[in-house]
Amino acid sequence: MSYKHNPSLIEKIAESLKIIPGLHDEEEASIDRLTEPGDLTKYPPPEQWNDWNEYEAKGWARKEKKNYSIVPTTCFNCESACGLLAYVDRTTGNVRKFEGNPYHPGSRGRNCAKGPATINQINDTDRIMYPMKRKGERGSGEWERASWDEVLDDIAGKIRKALQEERNDEIVYHVGRPGHEGYMDRVLKGWGVDGHNSHTNICSSGARFGYNLWQGYDRPSPDHANSKFILLISAHLESGHYFNPHAQRIMEGMMKGAKLAVMDPRLSNTASMSNYWMPTYPGTEAAALLAMAKVILEEGLYNRKYMENWVNWEEYLEAKHPNLDVTFENFIEQTIEEYKEYTPEFAEAETGVKAETIIEVAREIGMAGTRFACHNWRSAGSGNLGGWAVARTLQFLSVLTGAVGTVGGTSPSAWNKFHPQFFDVPPAHKFWNELHYPVEFPLAFHEMSQLLPHFLKEKRGKLAVYFTRVFNPVWTYPDGFSWIEALSDKRMIDMHIALTPTWNETSYFADYVLPMGHASERHDINSYETHSGMWIAFRQPVLREYARREGTPFEFTYDVNPGEVWEEDEFWIELSWRIDPDGSLGVRKHFESPYRKGEKINVDEYYQYIFENVKGLPEAAEKEGMKPLEYMRKYGAFEVEKSSYEKNLNEVSTDDLKGSNTDKKTRVISKDGKNVGIEVDGKAVVGFPTPSRRQEFYSKTMVDWKWPEYDIPKYIKSHVHEEEMDRDKGDYPLVPTFRLPVLIHSRSGNAKWLTEIANRNPIWMHPEDAAKFDLTDGDMIKVNTEIGYFVDRVWVTEGMKPGVVACSHHLGRWRRPQDQEGNRWATNTVSIDKEGTGWKMSVLQGIRPFKSTDNDTSRIFWSDGGVHQNITFPVHPDPISGMHCWHQKVRLENVSPEDRYGDIFVDTAKSQEVYRKWMEMTRPAPGPDNLRRPLWFARVNKPTIDKFYLSDKSNEKT
């Protein structure tokens, strides 16, 4: 560990009396987990899951016995994929409830409120049961029922024609909530299209980019349970991401003595439980982090051994200080010099957090050493111009303390995530879709999906077939009216297919709306970095497994799902066969069974193959006399590795070493032009997947790609920096990057329990600010953005930093009178009218009780569905990471008599202007060697290497 200074007398006494943890022990005591998977003994034992009796809670005190078949699956209401147990009532054959799966290593039997609420989603009386086809104009709200055969043939015909005419880039699959581990990448490769688009650039690209620059891995995986100090740059436990798996481990760490610091201008639930709430002014977090780095460097609290071995400090000195001797001492000296401006006082002036607190937290981090855990997800990383610098400066602290991949430190997520092996891997495609990775954003960490409507309007391309899956950009994205304009125009999007379990604002503008199953109605595999171990979980359609257990015949999942609800896996297999019925396009062969030559693969075989190739799973299954697939059907999850630390120290394989070269100076080991490892302390180890194989303090990539001013971790002033505000005119930074913890992006609208708990999104405002506008709780306020305005109410609270306002996203759902009824627990009925170059939305009616087969629908007591703020935001693409910068400079004003609650106005001509202004900040490709993008950066659905070079005229038809 890094903490080397001698303890003071007071510390010694406090440690011996166990008043404080033994921070000076050389040997760390092992810290047990709170529970191991399977420890929650009050759960029904798995041997009784096929036939479980318990008393009906509602039947009390009659002692009414219920007989259940318990089927494991996983939750789909955030990315963490916690384990669920579905209780199928054996009398009715219906799912009665969901509880946690104690055998799931990530969630260990626990769920947040959203897990059990899956029952609301499957029983939603408004859900879509049959394929629907547009009848009138797109967006007119007229629909008719269609057959799956008709739908599949129509879509397949369009795709086949596009492939035959080599319009491969016109086929696009755009996903919101991913999951589907590698499945779609394989499908799109099988079709030979660069057709993957995601929501990542409105979600997490900022932080990913910052982490990637350091270590070639884009997500952090903190080992909270074993840490001594935890620092979260967090809207609320990662904005609801990893909400439950991380929360339980943060609690575990704190119960063992860890301290928690949270940087957030809002007193979130997490901040309220912290030892240090640091309400930073939005976008200034990096200033505080660099001030902490300075304290750690100056006070010698850094981990010299780790840094000497694992930081590319020699490269830094050679590039920036060629006249100095290349010694570690010179590196430290120069680094202190680099950050001399970042005094705690400077940080206090920027952030509004006291200098003493910054110093105290910095020392705590230094003392925690290798047991310092931290996380930045969304939040500041996704809010600000240059937000990626927050993750980069945060990782700097992990590197300084040597807390990378250690017990109680923070690992790259890839070390804790299982990657499945597929029965067939189609070759890389030969296209570069400029709509996804345009030349202006060579470093963009993911697809520039938020700019799609603008690109289509500029005629950069068009779409022949556009799938949206669990994806609702009209509502979740900024600039939703530009999306409506693009989606309504057949010249831009010829066919739009919405794959969704429930009606949403984007599906209203589709040609087909195809009902897909909820969590418990489809297959999937999951593996996420919830803690230091590695696991794989099986999301299985519950009624399919129940039918199998009961011996009820079925062929496809839709045979057992409600109505004609399909699951995606089977949909894509079926569609792929219809695209290429005779195999002449080379598509069909990728969807043939590995076990029955030339025949269509079925979904059981797909997962059978994967589970047969999970390390340790076949053996674990065999011990119980089962096949791997049977094991996963029974338990729903498998722990691949109990813990996974310091994988940079894994030895380079003998195969890779054979015929390799080791660079005499850098000690980087390469083979066949590829770096495979690095020699450290005389050992050939794999290191990190960066050009230097080390943690990159100095980024030659940033220099090579025209951003030399960010060659080392720096603080970048946000577009909502105080300097941008005219306070006299009512300017405020608006923080829209948090959500109330029971919400699910755009998918809580059909979960009655969740909507009952949280159904409106007022503007959080400090009493001092409310006084300036003469407002009290519940008063209305007009929030002007760059492109329009929205009218909301205020919630006056001391839980908000003065001078900053905030509003939860994921409320303010709507439908127009002509739209299909859906999500009525949460949707306002609105009118949308064209006004000049803009759009006006007004609330016609709030939420009302309604009659249905669920008696609760007539008991709805709330009427306020909140306000759709995102639609009033323009696009703000960060010129480097490509991340949409969510925070807004808004001008607040008191309402006039004509303003109504929920009013929204947006001028899409202004949206275009703001888009162009941000585009001017970019520094387009090419980079070195005429590259479009650094070869070492990851890219979804990677094409052949030649397509990375601009000189290759990559989009020429091949």
Binding region for ligand SF4 (CB under 6 A): 75, 77-78, 80-82, 107, 111-112, 114-115, 243-244
- CA dist 143 to 128, 493, 503, 510, 818, Å? 12, 19, 12, 10, 10
The helix/strand/coil state of 72 is strand
Question: What is the smallest separation between the CB atom of 565 and ligand SF4, expressed in angstroms?
Answer: 20
- Number of helices and strands (H, E) in the chain? 28, 34
Shortest distance in whole angstroms from residue 111 CB to ligand SF4:
4
Which candidate, 420, 415, 442, 387, places its Cα nearest to that of 208? 387
- Give the Cα-Cα-Cα angle 724, 730, 732 (nearest 5 degrees): 50
Residue 446 CB, shortest distance to ligand SF4, in Å, is 21
| DSSP state, residue 400 | H
Nearer to ligand SF4, 110 or 392 (CB): 110
Indicate the residue among 312 and 737 with the shorter CB distance to ligand SF4. Answer: 737
Closest CA to 860 of 852, 868, 870: 852
**Complex with ligand SF4: residue 81 or 463, whichever CB lies closer:** 81
Contact 874, 915 (CB under 8 A): yes
CA dihedral 649, 655, 660, 666 (to 10 degrees): -10
Secondary structure class of 162 (helix, strand, coil): helix
Query: DSSP letters of 229-290?
Result: EEEEE-SSTGGGTTHHHHHHHHHHHHHTT-EEEEE-SB--HHHHT-SEEE-PPTT-HHHHHH
Task: Give whichever of 116 and 282 is closer to ligand SF4, judged by the CB atom.
Answer: 116
Q: In this complex, which beta carbon is closest to ligand SF4, that of residue 37 or of residue 265? A: 37
- Of the pair 635, 790, the CB lying nearest ligand SF4 is at 635
C-beta closer to ligand SF4: residue 238 or 580: 238
CB-wise, 73 or 351, nearer to ligand SF4? Answer: 73
Min dist. Cβ of residue 244 to ligand SF4 (A): 4
Q: How far is CA 29 from CA 22, 303, 417, 593, 724, in A?
A: 9, 20, 26, 51, 50
- The residue (of 357 and 737) whose beta carbon lies closer to ligand SF4 is 737
Residues 463, 468, 469, CA angle at the centre, nearest 5°?
A: 155
CB of 122 to ligand SF4, least distance (A): 14
Contact status, residue 414 vs residue 650, Cβ threshold 8 Å: no
Please identify, using beta-carbon distances, which residue of 111 and 205 lies nearer to ligand SF4: 111
The residue among 636 and 733 lying less far from ligand SF4, judged by its C-beta, is 636
CB-nearer residue toward ligand SF4: 99 or 479: 99
Alpha carbons 409 and 168: distance in angstroms, whole number: 44
Quote the tokens at residue 925.
């490709």
**Length of the chain measured in residues:** 958
Nearer to ligand SF4, 189 or 518 (CB): 518
Q: With H, G, I as helix, E, B as strand and everything else as coil, classify residue 777.
A: coil
Burial 894-929 (b: 16+ CB within 10 A, else e): eeeeeeebbbbbbbbebbbebbeebbeebeebebee
Supply 187's token pair: 């499908």
Give the integer Cα–Cα distance in Å for 211 and 283: 17
Of residues 162 and 534, the one with the C-beta less far from ligand SF4:
534
Smallest separation (angstroms) from ligand SF4 to the CB of 760: 21
Residue 59's Cβ-count burial label (10 Å; 0-12, 13-18, 19+) is exposed
Neighbour tally for 854: CB within 10 Å:
15
> Closest separation between CB of residue 534 and ligand SF4, Å?
17
User: What's the min distance (Å) between Cβ of 812 and ligand SF4?
Assistant: 21
In angstroms, the CA 226 to CA 407 distance is 6
CB of 241 to ligand SF4, least distance (A): 8
Q: Outline where 668-720 has alpha helix (H).
A: 700-704
Q: Smallest gap, in angstroms, from Cβ of residue 617 to ligand SF4? A: 22
Least distance from C-beta 104 to ligand SF4, angstroms?
9
Q: How far is the CB of 225 from ligand SF4 (least distance, A)?
A: 16
Q: How far is the CB of 204 from ligand SF4 (least distance, A)?
A: 15
Min dist CB 940 to ligand SF4, Å, is 23
